[in-house]
Amino acid sequence: MRKQFLFIFLSLIVANTNEAQTRSTRIGYIDMEYILENVSDYKEAKSQLDLKATKWKQEIEIKKLEINKLKETLKTEKALLTKELIEERETEIKFLENEMLEYQQKQFGVDGNLMHQKASLAKPIQDQVFTAVQDIAEAKNYDFIFDKSSDLTMLFSAKRFDISDQVIRILNRADKREQLTKKQLKEQEAKENRENEIDENPAMADRQKALDARKAARDKLVADRKLEQEAKRKEYEDKRNAIAAEKAAKKNGTVSETTKTTETTQTAKPVVSTEQTTAEPAVNKAEERQKLYDQRKKELEEKRKKILEEREAAKKAKEAETQKTNTTNN
């Protein structure tokens, strides 16, 4: 029986060797942790689990603070207590410490709630991943597909053999298909076929990346030009509106000075009121320019006055020096 088993085993090895000689062996791998982190359902559930873990940690910290407080109190009052009371308090502290450690082990231990809930959380996604991996292996004739994040030690793994992104796309497609119409499904299938072709051909993948990069650069250039044209157009419109408003303001000023009859003022009232709304920016600008002009004029006047004062002081100092020199000579 043992010889028969050995013969069958050797026959299988020979058969696999002959088959391997006729075609190349296809090997791929996945990174389960990377896949889980990029699945929306898992991320949402994991964030809720992280909140639970944070709450457990806070409860443990509160228990630690209470125990430390009891220890400090015992240390302070130890000289005043009897031996029985000291032993009683030490027993209480020991009990609370054991209780805290048990709670910590229950929540964060190897067999704790956190590990159990993580496993139950990942299990449905892992099942979907295994199904997706089998579909990819059958469709693309893979011989072996490994999990990089498992206990299997992979000293080196080339990126071109990583099919994790393909698995993520399959999982996301399954979620999207339920919400698509027939037309959208056809478009999705065409997109999937194109992605599969790219996955099968590394040269095509590189070419697609280059095309996507050029397209992104071209779209950015078009968007920048559009923004530049929009800014220029807005600047031109603002300038035109300002000129028109300034003209309207000047026109309103001449009308208000020349018209003196009540009938003319009554007919002019609506024109002034409507045009003043558009002339307000120009009037404000004119007022600002006038203020700047007055301020500049005032600064120049003060500067000129200061220069004259300095000259006058220098002249007086010079005259005083000359007079002093003459007095010394005499």
Q: How confident is the model at residue 273 (pLDDT cuts 50, 70, 90)?
A: very low
Report the number of distinct structural domains present in the chain: 1
DSSP state of 162: B
What pLDDT, on a 0 to 100 scale, did the predictor assign at position 301? 84
Reply yes or no on whether the pLDDT at 18 is more than 80. no
Per the domain annotation, does 324 fall within a domain? no
52 within some domain: yes
Question: Residue 310: how many CB atoms within 10 A of its CB?
Answer: 10
Checking if the pLDDT of 88 tops 60, the result is: yes
- Joined together, the tokens standing for residue 146 give 């490994």
pLDDT value for 261: 45
Is the pLDDT at 187 greater than 80, yes or no? no
DSSP count for the chain of H helices, then E strands? 9, 2
Lowest average pLDDT, out of 159-163, 166-170, 210-214, goes to 210-214
Q: How far is CA 90 from CA 3, 47, 77, in A?
A: 70, 40, 13
φ, ψ of residue 27 in degrees (nearest 5): -125, 140
Do the domain assignments include residue 193? yes
**pLDDT band (50, 70, 90) for residue 70:** very high
Whether the Cβ atoms of residue 28 and residue 147 lie closer than 8 Å to each other: no
pLDDT digits (tens, 9 = 90+) for 24-69: 788 899 998 888 888 887 888 888 899 999 999 999 999 999 999 9
pLDDT score recorded for residue 68: 94
Tell me: the pLDDT tens digits for 99-132? 999 999 999 998 899 999 888 888 888 888 899 8
Q: Mean pLDDT of all residues in the chain?
A: 77
With respect to residue 73, please indicate whether it lies within any of the assigned structural domains. Answer: yes
In a domain, 166, yes or no: yes
Q: Tens digits of per-residue pLDDT, 246-268?
A: 877 777 765 444 444 444 444 44
**Over pLDDT 90: what percentage of the chain?**
16
The predicted structure's pLDDT at residue 272: 44
Q: Indicate whether 133 belongs to any domain.
A: yes
Domain region containing 78: 24-200
Amino acid 244 reads: A
Say whether pLDDT at 213 is over 60: yes
More confident: 266 or 74: 74
64 vs 71: CA distance, rounded Å: 11
HSE-up (13 A, CA, CB side) for residue 274: 5
Geometric angle at alpha carbon 170, from 196 and 29, rounded to 5°: 75
Residue 260 lies in a domain: no
Residue 283 has pLDDT above 90, yes or no: no
